[in-house]
Amino acid sequence: MSRYAAALDFGSSKIALAVGEKTDSGVRIVSYHDVPSAGIESGEIVNDFKVEEVVRGLVEQAKADLPEEIGSVTFGISGRVLHSKNVPIQITRRDPSSYIMEDEVRQITRARYKTALEGDEIVFEAVPQKYSTEDRIGITYDEIIGMVGGQLEVDYQLFYGRKSLLDRRVNILRKLEMQPGKAILNAIASARAVLSRPEMENGVALVDIGKGSTEVAIIKDNIVRHAAIIPFGGESVTGDIKNVANITRDWAEIVKLRHGRCCEEYAIENKKLVLKSENETVEGEIEMSLLTRTVEARLSEIFDAVRYVIEQSGYARRISAGVVITGGASHHEDLLQLASSLLGQKVRLAAPQGSIDNGSVEEAYDVYASTAVGLVLETLDPMLSHAIDQSAEAQPARQAEAQRIQETLFEQEPATEPEEKPLSNRELRERRKEEERRAKEERKRAERERKAAEEERKKSEKKGPSFIDMLFSDNNNA
């Protein structure tokens, strides 16, 4: 078994392959290579052959850096649409006096990846949110391990999408005679690479602005609470500049990277940018103030969508660490000022720095490497992702362990009430007290949400229907 972990980021602007190893002080990235993407649009593979050829070249480069062969490969999952929903699962354990151990909880989570969904959709991530027994409600993973009980309830957040997003990546790796490993959402990987441990504990929103899309992950108490994909990113800014200035896409990209400020108040008035080729031929021109307004308009649209995602998650008032922005399209002048004003949160830019060893290759510290580095981290030292190994089901030892655990419990999905023997008067009184306590907590929570919704409604009435409302409404209808 190789001591190295390899990870592939199938990005819209680049495809990256990172390889790391676990050391006494953390994770060291020993190899990182990326090349411009071919055959990928908005995180979705549209030309398998082109992607396969790019990955083949990256693998050859990585092999030159390593003393041994690459084993299984973790890879990122992205696409235009990502759904999520909350699913509570209730387990009736055959032996209430036995300890609830890690293998049992892990097996229950693995079963969530077989949850029946509509059409050609599968679960990419099943993230436990909280655990409950007869005696304790809403406790953490660390607390549940070692407890006893006849009833175990786990509250899951499922993130799911089209099965083809997974299948096409797996097929490419197999054609290259590589073993597919874990499939991890890009947003979760990027979060792991650039967020600090205090941020993940206190509550934070990770925003990864890529070429074709913007990905958002909300993390609280070291648990992924919500994730979403916004179907536009840096390429949308380039397209707007191209249309406004009537120039080629290549020139629009150069203009964006070199001169794309995003706050109109800082725009240079009465100055025109003239674009000349190497032979001094004028290729186009654009007023600097118009350029700034164009960039600001599209980035404002992106941050409006981010704010909508955060508000819809229910964690807008629970992310005390604010918003952390990363991604290849995040480096616009004045971007922090624009994001802070639109999101109403403190904001910082981030790249993989404190998450990997100082001895890592230089390229791994770049903002463009966030997703690939995060995939390696979640492979060698899982913290946020609960993704399963794509080849795990074929391992006899895993199957035997799963069978042993299944023999210790019954399972109902979704949660249903188990058959019960008649309760004593004392048990009935205790149950009523517990139900009243839960009802009281629910009323308090509902009242808080009502007040928060009322405040947001008053704010939105001043603005009227927004483009973001219509965008997410269209996605939901679709």
The pLDDT tens digits for 357-397 are 989 999 999 999 999 999 999 999 999 999 988 765 444 44
Distances, alpha carbon 371 to alpha carbons 187, 188, 190, 367, in Å: 8, 8, 4, 9
What percentage of the chain has pLDDT greater than the value 70? 83
Among candidates 14, 27, 153, which has minimal Cα distance to 89? 153
pLDDT attached to residue 391 = 65
Angle of helix 186-194 relative to helix 370-380, nearest 10 degrees, comes to: 90
pLDDT attached to residue 415 = 45
Query: What is the strand order of the sheet 14-23 is part of?
Result: 26-36, 14-23, 4-10, 72-77, 179-185
- Per-residue pLDDT band for 417 (boundaries 50, 70, 90) equals very low
Among the ranges 35-44, 392-401, 425-434, which has the highest mean pLDDT value?
Answer: 35-44
Q: What are the pLDDT digits (tens) for 295-326?
A: 999 999 999 999 999 999 999 999 999 999 99
Is 197-349 in CATH node 3.30.420.40? yes
Amino acid (1-letter code) at residue 367 = V
What's the rounded Cα separation, in Å, for the pair 335 and 349?
9
Q: Going by DSSP bridges, is the β-strand pair 72-77/4-10 parallel, antiparallel, or unpaired?
A: parallel
What's the rounded Cα separation, in Å, for the pair 433 and 425?
12
Per-residue pLDDT at 207 exceeds 60: yes
Average pLDDT (120-145) is 95
Mean pLDDT (the chain) is 86
- Per-residue pLDDT band for 28 (boundaries 50, 70, 90) equals very high
Per-residue pLDDT at 418 exceeds 50: no
